[in-house]
Chain A
Amino acid sequence: MTIDMAQFHQVFFDESFEGLDVMESGLLNMDPGTADTEEINSIFRAAHSIKGGSGTFGFTEISNFTHVMETLLDEMRDGRREVTAVAVDALLRSVDVLREMLKAVSADDTIDMDDVQAQQSELEAILNNSESAAPAAGANSAQPAADGAEAITGWRVVFRPLPHMMRTGNDPLRIIQELTDLGDVKVEGDASLLPRLAELDPEECFLSWVITVNEALEKSQISEVFDWVEDDCELSIVPIVTEAVAEQVEAPEVESAVQASEPAQPERRQGERRAEDRRSPVDRRQNDRRSGGGASGSSSIRVDINKIDGLINMVGELVITQSMLSMLGEDFTIDRVERLQDGLAQLERHTRELQESVMQIRMLPISFTFSRFPRLVHDLSSKMGKKIELKMSGEQTEVDKTVIEKIGDPLVHLVRNSLDHGIEMPEVRKAAGKPETGTVHLSAAHRGGNIIIEIRDDGKGLDKHRIESKAIERGLITEEHNLTDQQIYELIFQAGFSTAEQISDVSGRGVGMDVVRKNINELGGSIEIESEMGKGSAIIIRLPLTLAILDGQTIAVGDEIYIVPLVSIIESIQLKPDMINLVAGRGETFKLRNDYLPIVRLHEVFGIESVKTTDLMSGLLVVVEGDGKRCGLFVDDLIGQQQVVIKSLEANYKRVDGLSGATILGDGSVALILDIPGIIRLSSQKYSVADLKQSA
C-alpha cells in the first residue's frame, strides 16, 4: 500500500466539489414535507462518494462530518424521517461547511474545527430528535461505537465480497493479512456458496469470511482496511461487547440482514452514478470554474467526449485530403487541374469544419453561471424576509467560455439589486394588489448574432424621479435637462450612484453598477434597462455570440479595408438621387421603403483621406443595424465575404471607438473590424461636436 495518494487528490477534490453542487441543487429543489426519493437518492449518493473518497485519502474530519449528514439523509430516504425545512436548511449549511473543509484541505490549510463542530452538533441534534424520527432499529446501529465505546473488546467483521471483486484488482487475502497486522485476529472462511467445479468461474470470488478481531480498536481502523472494496462487497463491522456476548451473537445477524436486503445496492449506486455522469456533462463541468479558482488556479476546460471524437474524425479527413493533394502534386500535369480544384475545395471545407468544431469547444451552456442563483435567491430572500420565486429559462444557451467567466459577478450583482431594490416586502406587494411572492426571471437566448441575458422582476421598478433628483443633487445633470427615460436610467451606471435610502449589506452602496457596465463593455456587449413604476424592471444584456470568430463582409474605403460583421448588415444598396434628403442642411438621410435612415460616411467618421469618391451616387450604401438603431454606411466598394478570426486590439494597444477588433487577412495584412453601434455613436458625436463648433 505504498501508492502515492497525493496524485489522486485533485481528482477527489474536483469530484467532491461537483458532488457538493449536486447536493446543493438537490436540497434547494426539495420541498419540505414531500420527499422525492429520487432527489434524496442523488443527494445521498453525492454525500456517500465524498465520505468514501475522504476516508480513502485519510481526511477523517471530512468523512466523519459527512457521515453524520449521510445518516440524516439515509433516514429521509427510507422515509423514517420527515423532510422538514429545518433539516433541509441544516443540510444546506452543512454543504457550505463541507465545502469550506474541502477548500481548506485542498489548499493545505487547517480546517476551522469550531464551525465544523457547531454544524455537526446541529445535525446530531436533529438526528437525536426522536419526535420526528419513526422508531427504527437500523437507525441506532449507525453509531454503535458512540454508545458503548468503553465496553468494546473486539470487532466481528462479516466480509462477503461480491463475485466480481477480484476483477477490480482487489485481493481478499491481502485485506485479511492487513487485518492480522492490527492484532489478534481469528478468520473463519465460509465456502457454502462455492459452486461445483464444472460451474466455477475462476475469476470470481465465492468465499466469504467472518473475522473476529480481538483488539479494542477504533471502528475506523478496521473500516479503513476495507476502504478500497467498500462498494464491491457486503460488509458489516459489529463491536463485541463483553457483558452482552449472548446478544452479540445475534446482533450481527440482524445487521447483516439489513445489509443483505440490499445486496446489489452499492453496485447499483455506482452504476447510476456513472450513468448520471454521462447524462449531465453540465453538472460535471460546472465545477471547473469553482475548483479551478479554489485550488490550483489553472484554467482548464472539460469537453464533451463527442466534441473531441468529432475533432479527431475531422483531423483524420484532413490528413487524407492532404495526402491526396501531395500525391497529386508529385507528378502534376495540367489535365489534372480539375482534381486539384476538387481537392482544394475539400481542404477548405475540412478546414472550416475543423475551425468550427474547435470553436465549439469553447462554448459552454450558460447554466454554469445560472446554477448559483437558486441558492443566492433562497438565502437572500429568507434573510430579507421577502417571498421570491426565481424562474430561469434558456440555461442551455451556449456562450463562450470567457463570457461565462466574466459575466458571473455582474449577474450576481444585478440579481441582488433586483431582490433588494426591486421586489417589495410581502405586505407592500399585497397592498399594491400584487401576489405576495415576487418573481425574478433570469433568461438567456440567442438572438441574431447576440446572446441576450435578461433579468426581469415584477417589483416596484425604477423610480425615475428619485434618480433625477439624486442626479441633480450630485450635480450630474442640471434641473432643466431634457433626458429621455432611457437616459435617466443610464444614470444609475455612474460610479457612486445609489438611490437606496438605507444601505444594507446586500446592496445600496452605489458601488457596482459602473463596474457591471464596465465588465460587460469589456466583453463587447451592452446593457440597457426597461422599467415601469410599480410594474417591475428588466435589465437586458447583449453579448456577442462568440468572441473569437465571425462572418464578415470586407469593404473598401479608399486604400483601407474594413470588415463589417455580417450579422449587422441588413442589405446593401446603390443610392438614387431621389432617395436622399437633407435635414437641417447637413444631416443626410435616405428613404428605404418606408423608413428614413441617417447616412454615415465612413470616410468622415474615420478620417480616411484616400477616399475614392464622396459622391453618394457612385459609392455603395450598406444598411446596418446595431443596438436597435439602423443607418446607411457609405463605403466605396464591397469586396467579399469571409470568416475572420477576431484578434484583440486591446492585447497590445487599447480599445478604439468604432472598432471591435482586428483580423488578419489572407495576405498577412491586418484589417480592422467595425463595431456598428460604436460607429453610430461616433457619427452622432461628430454632429454634436459640429453643432458646438458652430454655436461657439
Chain B
Amino acid sequence: MPAIAQQNGNDDMQQDVEVIGSEYLTFNLGDEDYGVDILRVQEIRGWEMVTRVPNQPAFVKGVLNLRGSIVPIFDLRERMGMPAREYDKATVVIILKVICEISERSVGIVVDGVSDVLNARSQDIAATPDFGENLDTEFITGMASSNGKMVMLLDVDKLQPSVAQADEDVEVA
C-alpha cells in the first residue's frame, strides 16, 4: 500500500522539491532523522532556560531573548505528538526563519541533537507515505535517504501554529 502511494505522489512532488533547495541540516529525535532546509537555519544553540508563556499548548516551551527580539521555542517532539524527553547536554535549539502568512518570523525548535548536512538531489526525495488518520504528516514534505538511513524533511512554515489552531490546542490541553 505505501509503495503505491509513494509512486503516485512522486510526480507532484518533483516540482516542489526543486524550489525547496537541496541542502538540509539533519538532526535527530530519538532514532529518527529529520532535515530542514539549511537556508532557513539562523543559528544553533544549546538548550537554556526559557520564560514560560502561560496558557499555551504543551509544545510551546516558552520564549527566549534572541538579541533583543522575543522568539518562541517549540519542542519538536511534542509538536509532532511524540513523547517528551528530559533535556540534557546534547539538547539543542535550532532557530529557524519561518514564513507565516505575510511576515517572516523566527522560531526555535528543541531537538535531541544535530547530526549533519545532507546533500539531497530532487530525484532522491520521495513523497511522504500516507498513514491515514493515525499519523499526522502535515509537517513532512518528503523523505530522503542518507547513508542508508531515512531522513524526513520538515516544512518549517507549518511548525508555527495558526492562531485558531493554537486556541484549539489549548482547549484540548
Contacts and interface: CB of A to CB of B under 8 A. Distances in A.
Contacts of A655: 163
A607 interface: yes
Interface in B32-82: 49-56, 62-65, 68-72
A652 B51 CA distance: 15
Contacts of B103: 651
B166 interface: yes
Interface string A518-552: 00000000000000000000000000000000000
B51 A606 contact: no
Contacts, number: 69
A607 B173 CA distance: 12
B70 A607 contact: no
A652 B69 contact: yes
Q: Which of B52, B105, B106, B160 has most chain A Cβ within 10 Å? A: B52
Nearest to A662: B70
Q: Which of A648, A649, A672 has most chain B Cβ within 10 Å? A: A672
Nearest to B166: A654
Given A608-B54, A647-B70, A652 B105 contact: yes
Contact of A670 (B55, B70, B107): B70
A654 B163 contact: yes
Contact of A656 (B55, B64, B71): B55
A664 B107 contact: no
A309 to B, nearest CB: 28
B170 to A, nearest CB: 9
B56 A651 contact: no
A669 B70 contact: no
Q: Which of A607, A649, A653 has most chain B Cβ within 10 Å? A: A653
Contacts of B64: 670
B51 A669 contact: yes
Nearest to A605: B54
A647 B71 CA distance: 10
Given A605-B54, A607-B55, A658-B55, A651 B69 contact: yes
A668 B64 CA distance: 9
Nearest to A665: B65
A656 B69 contact: no
Nearest to B173: A607
Contacts of B68: 647, 664
Given A651-B69, A662-B63, A670-B64, A657 B51 contact: no
* Majority secondary structure, A binding face: loop
A606 B55 CA distance: 6
Given A647-B69, A662-B70, A664-B68, A653 B63 contact: yes
Contacts of A659: 53-54
Interface in A640-696: 647-649, 651-659, 662, 664, 668-672, 682
Given A651-B69, A670-B50, A656 B105 contact: no
A652 B72 contact: yes
A656 B65 contact: no
A96 interface: no
Interface string B117-135: 0000000000000000000
B54 A652 contact: no
Nearest to A655: B163
Q: Which of B62, B63, B71, B105 has most chain A Cβ within 10 Å? A: B63
A560 interface: yes
Contacts of B107: 652-653
A623 B23 CA distance: 56
B71 A668 contact: no
Interface of A: 560, 605-608, 647-649, 651-659, 662, 664, 668-672, 682
6 contacts: A651-B69, A652-B107, A659-B53, A669-B51, A669-B65, A682-B55
Q: Which 6 residue pairs are nearest across A and B when measured between Cβ atoms?
A: A606-B54, A653-B72, A670-B51, A652-B105, A662-B70, A647-B70
